[in-house]
């Protein structure tokens, strides 16, 4: 992100010098130096205050609370050491919930492959490519709650349109499936809704990366007699490696943080089979009033995400140098 | 790409069509059923067309029963206030950071960029207490404060954009005697227009679609927003699919229309926002 700043930075010293030279001159009603200080103070303080209050303070406060048994209301916050963390990792009802997040990861990988496939197709010469892109991306901008209920209808066992279509196609047995009521498949059913919603998003990012690959690379390869597949393997893939990585990490963090879909559609059911880790955090804090434990769970999730992102940054930097 | 063989070209179109069908099938079901009367709904297959696309009864009922006038009103207040604050604070901050050299500037920018890796969903346990301490739970400004304070997409987009505005403009304005505030207001801010447009659209869509924050911070019926109004409506009318279909459609249409008309900004914003 800081890479394109080089040009700007080069210009900065002269701007500053000019201001120094003229700092004695009255501009407007105030000296330039006073103006500069005032602007810096006024324009930086508020966003900095907000950032501290809503990003860094809560992150640190979470760590502190995670070592206490606070119930969220009382004035007592007893220090209890690592007890909350032990609970997070040893209680299968808590850490085991991550099993349910696995489905979102598996489906997310398939989603990326499909997204890359469509991006490659749409990057070529094709009639109606803008229309295809428009339609494939559409689900991403729709209201999440509306999408959840939309699929509640599609997957409904008796009235659902999926089972109706399956029945019409002659899959009698399959058409009786309770997609959201069977614990072995409910997470995959929910993850498939995520697929429907976010595939277009991944595709648009891939497409932007593909469009930045210079065309002469492909032309040169054609002259050398490369076919479409070779071009994909030897030119396309290496050039969008970074973006593939980015999308995969978005998939991992997305899978770790799933909340709204199962929360709206199944409430974690049947019998907790589709409960995700974030749902568990919210429940622990706001229903069971165990803020200490909920904080420890949040810290664990935070660390997972930071680890995943650090690996990404590390891989990217290594690639670049 | 080179002209390839027919099989590949056929496969391309077949897979694209399959993809588009998969995308459009669920909304299609909602559209056809939203126009059905309850007799029609039970007599006909789920995927069949309604007798008439002029049967708006379900929409009128859903709109009133789900308390959507209030929901849309509250959503608009939240989005409007958030946008004004976001744009003012974000653009001013980026003017200060993008145009001046000062001590600790690198640290400051680093703090903002590093904050993007803290997932907002993990900090809610503490943020809830902060909002409570400010007495802003059950108040429309609670979510506003969270949307303004905890998301820095606007800063990211403005920072990228302000670098491409040439310094000569500032310099010549300064020679003509404009104050620094005047330069920000009359030169920089207008030139940031496309970035502002992108931010307005992306934020509008993300706030409109958010369920987590309003669910947690605005539990009272009078503070209902579009996402939570649909949840309330569903819990009362579950199983009444033709009614729910029309409620879903009412809520989906506004962002779909925005998308159709402003796709250019949305695609640009999504790509630049993702690669941060």
What does the pLDDT look like over A110-129, one tens digit per residue? 999 999 999 999 998 888 88
Q: Which residue has the higher pLDDT, A283 or B45?
A: A283
pLDDT for A111 equals: 95
Q: Is residue B198 part of a domain?
A: yes
Determine, for residues B23 and A250 on separate chains, whether the beta-carbon distance falls below 8 Å.
Answer: no
Q: Which of B111, B149, B178 sits opposite A54 (nearest CB)?
A: B149
Q: Is residue A44 part of a domain?
A: no
Determine, for residues B244 and A4 on separate chains, whether the beta-carbon distance falls below 8 Å.
Answer: no
pLDDT for B1 equals: 45
Q: Is the pLDDT of residue A160 over 50?
A: yes
Residues A199/A182, Cβ–Cβ less than 8 Å: no
**pLDDT average, residue stretch A253-267:** 89
Chain A residue nearest residue B260, CA to CA: A134
Q: Read off the pLDDT of residues B213-271 as tens digits, 9 standing for 90 and up.
A: 999 999 999 999 999 999 999 988 877 888 899 999 999 999 999 999 988 888 888 88
| Phi then psi dihedrals of residue A79, to 5 deg | -75, 125
**From start to end of chain A, where are the E strands?**
26-27, 30-31
pLDDT for A168 equals: 85
Chain A residue nearest residue B146, CA to CA: A54
Count of structural domains within chain B: 1
Q: Is the pLDDT of residue A19 over 60?
A: no
Q: Is the pLDDT of residue A84 over 70?
A: yes
DSSP H or E stretch at residue B64: helix B57-65
Chain B positions touching A65 (Cβ under 8 A) are 125-126
pLDDT for B135 equals: 93
Q: Is residue B46 part of a domain?
A: no
- With bands split at pLDDT 50, 70 and 90, how would you rate the model's confidence at A139? very high
Domain that holds residue A247: 92-320
Domain that holds residue B188: 60-274
| Phi then psi dihedrals of residue A31, to 5 deg | -65, 150
Chain B positions touching A285 (Cβ under 8 A) are 125, 128
**pLDDT average, residue stretch A280-306:** 91
Report d(CA B154, CA B93) in Å as an integer. 10
Chain B residue nearest residue A148, CA to CA: B248
Q: Is residue B8 part of a domain?
A: no
- With bands split at pLDDT 50, 70 and 90, how would you rate the model's confidence at A317? confident
- With bands split at pLDDT 50, 70 and 90, how would you rate the model's confidence at A16? very low
Report d(CA B127, CA A2) in Å as an integer. 30
Q: Is the pLDDT of residue A321 over 70?
A: no
pLDDT for A110 equals: 95
Q: If chain B, 276 residues long, is cut into consecutive pieces of 10 residues, what is the mean pLDDT of each piece?
A: 68 93 92 86 79 84 89 96 95 92 89 83 88 92 91 85 89 88 92 91 92 92 93 85 90 92 86 67
Q: Is the pLDDT of residue A320 over 70?
A: no
- Would you give the distance in Å from CA B18 to the centre of its chain? 28
Per the structure block, which two tokens stand in for A307? Answer: 């680890």
What CATH number corresponds to the domain at position A96?
A: 1.10.3720.10
Residue among A149, A298, A282, A50 nearest B217 (CA): A282
pLDDT for B275 equals: 61
Report d(CA B193, CA A291) in Å as an integer. 44
Which of B121, B137, B170, B256 is the mutation pick for testing A, counting most A CBs within 10 A? B121
Alpha carbons within 13 angstroms on the beta-carbon side of residue B155 total 26
Q: Is the pLDDT of residue A3 over 70?
A: no
Q: Is the pLDDT of residue A25 over 60?
A: no
**pLDDT average, residue stretch A293-303:** 92
CA distance from start to end of chain A = 16
Q: Which residue has the higher pLDDT, A318 or B31?
A: B31
pLDDT for B127 equals: 92
pLDDT for B4 equals: 56
Q: Is residue B36 part of a domain?
A: no
- With bands split at pLDDT 50, 70 and 90, how would you rate the model's confidence at A319? low
Determine, for residues A141 and B258 on separate chains, whether the beta-carbon distance falls below 8 Å.
Answer: yes
pLDDT for A314 equals: 83
Determine, for residues B24 and A301 on separate chains, whether the beta-carbon distance falls below 8 Å.
Answer: no
**pLDDT average, residue stretch A238-248:** 86
Count of structural domains within chain A: 1
Chain B positions touching A138 (Cβ under 8 A) are 23, 256, 259
Q: Is the pLDDT of residue A210 over 60?
A: yes
Chain A residue nearest residue B147, CA to CA: A54
Q: How far is A184 from chain B (nearest CA, A)?
A: 23
Chain A positions touching B212 (Cβ under 8 A) are 259-260
Question: What separation in angstroms does the CA of A200 have from each of A204, B30, B47, B65?
Answer: 6, 21, 25, 33
Chain B positions touching A72 (Cβ under 8 A) are 129
Report d(CA B126, CA A57) in Å as an integer. 9
Q: Read off the pLDDT of residues A182-201 as tens digits, 9 standing for 90 and up.
A: 888 999 999 999 999 999 99
Q: Is residue A12 part of a domain?
A: no
SS3 A315: helix
For CA atoms B257, B260, B262, B265, give the dihedral sign: positive
What pTM was estimated for this model as a whole? Answer: 0.86
Q: Is the pLDDT of residue A20 over 70?
A: no
Per the structure block, which two tokens stand in for B246? Answer: 């029309």
Q: Is residue A20 part of a domain?
A: no
pLDDT for A275 equals: 92
Q: How far is A28 from chain B (nearest CA, A)?
A: 5
Helix B153-162 vs helix B105-115: crossing angle, to nearest 10: 130
ipTM for this model: 0.88
Tell me whether residue B274 is exposed, middle or buried, using C-beta atoms within 10 angstroms of its C-beta: 0 to 12, 13 to 18, 19 or more: middle
Chain B positions touching A117 (Cβ under 8 A) are 15
Chain B positions touching A48 (Cβ under 8 A) are 108, 111
Q: Is residue B31 part of a domain?
A: no
pLDDT for A7 equals: 40
Q: Is residue A106 part of a domain?
A: yes
Q: What percent of chain A has pLDDT over 90?
A: 37
Determine, for residues B150 and A54 on separate chains, whether the beta-carbon distance falls below 8 Å.
Answer: yes
- With bands split at pLDDT 50, 70 and 90, how would you rate the model's confidence at A13? very low
- With bands split at pLDDT 50, 70 and 90, how would you rate the model's confidence at A6? very low
Q: Which of B179, B228, B274 sits opposite A27 (nearest CB)?
A: B179
What CATH number corresponds to the domain at position B270?
A: 1.10.3720.10
Q: Which of A146, A228, A299 sits opposite B248 (nearest CB)?
A: A146
């Amino acid at each position: 992100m800081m890479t394109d700043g080089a040009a700007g930075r080069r210009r900065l010293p002269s701007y500053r010098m000019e201001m120094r030279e003229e700092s004695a001159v009255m501009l407007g009603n105030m000296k330039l130096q006073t103006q500069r200080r005032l602007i810096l103070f006024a324009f930086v303080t508020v966003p900095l205050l907000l950032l501290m209050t809503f990003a860094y303070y809560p992150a640190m406060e979470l760590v502190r609370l995670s070592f206490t048994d606070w119930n969220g209301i009382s004035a007592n916050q007893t220090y209890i050491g690592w007890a909350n963390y032990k609970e997070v990792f040893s209680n299968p009802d808590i850490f085991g919930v991550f099993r349910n997040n696995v489905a979102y990861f598996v489906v997310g990988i398939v989603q990326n492959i499909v997204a890359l496939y469509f991006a490659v197709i749409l990057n070529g010469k094709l009639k109606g490519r803008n229309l295809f892109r428009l339609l494939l991306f559409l689900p991403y901008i729709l209201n999440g709650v509306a999408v959840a209920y939309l699929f509640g209808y599609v997957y409904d066992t008796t009235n659902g349109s999926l089972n109706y279509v399956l029945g019409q196609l002659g899959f009698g047995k399959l058409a009786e499936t309770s997609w959201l009521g069977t614990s072995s498949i409910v997470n995959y059913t929910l993850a498939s809704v995520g697929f429907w919603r976010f595939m277009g998003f991944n595709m648009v990012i891939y497409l932007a990366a593909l469009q930045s690959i210079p065309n002469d690379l492909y032309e040169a390869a054609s002259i050398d007699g490369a076919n479409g597949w070779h071009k994909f393997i030897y030119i396309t893939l290496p050039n969008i490696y970074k973006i593939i990585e980015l999308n995969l990490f978005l998939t991992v963090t997305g899978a770790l943080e799933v909340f709204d879909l199962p929360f709206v559609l199944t409430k974690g059911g049947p019998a907790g089979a589709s409960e995700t880790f974030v749902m568990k955090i919210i429940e622990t804090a706001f229903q069971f009033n165990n803020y200490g434990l909920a904080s420890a769970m949040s810290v664990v999730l935070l660390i997972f995400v930071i680890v995943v992102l650090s690996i990404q940054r590390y891989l990217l930097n290594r690639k670049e140098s | 790409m080179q002209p390839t063989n027919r099989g590949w070209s056929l496969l391309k179109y077949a897979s694209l069509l399959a993809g588009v069908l998969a995308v459009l099938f669920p909304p299609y079901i909602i559209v056809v059923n939203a126009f059905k009367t309850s007799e029609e709904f039970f007599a006909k297959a789920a995927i069949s067309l309604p007798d008439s696309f002029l049967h708006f009864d379900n929409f009128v009922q859903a709109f009133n029963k789900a308390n959507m006038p209030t929901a849309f009103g509250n959503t608009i207040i939240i989005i409007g206030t958030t946008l004004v604050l976001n744009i003012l604070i974000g653009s001013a901050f980026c003017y200060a950071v993008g145009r001046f050299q000062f001590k600790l500037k690198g640290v400051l920018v680093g703090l903002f960029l590093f904050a993007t890796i803290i997932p907002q969903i993990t900090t809610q346990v503490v943020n809830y207490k902060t909002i409570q301490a400010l007495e802003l739970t059950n108040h429309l400004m609670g979510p506003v404060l969270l949307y303004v304070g905890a998301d820095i997409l606007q800063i990211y987009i403005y920072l990228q954009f302000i670098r491409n505005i040439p310094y000569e403009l500032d310099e010549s304005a300064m020679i003509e005697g404009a104050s620094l505030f005047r330069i920000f207001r009359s030169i920089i801010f207008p030139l940031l227009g496309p970035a502002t447009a992108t931010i307005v659209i992306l934020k509008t869509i993300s706030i409109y679609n958010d369920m987590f924050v309003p669910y947690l911070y605005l539990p009272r019926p009078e503070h209902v927003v579009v996402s939570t109004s649909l949840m309330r409506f569903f819990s009362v009318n579950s199983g009444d699919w033709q009614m729910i279909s029309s409620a879903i459609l009412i809520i989906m249409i506004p962002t779909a229309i925005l998308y159709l008309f402003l796709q250019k900004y949305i695609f640009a914003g999504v790509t630049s926002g993702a690669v941060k």
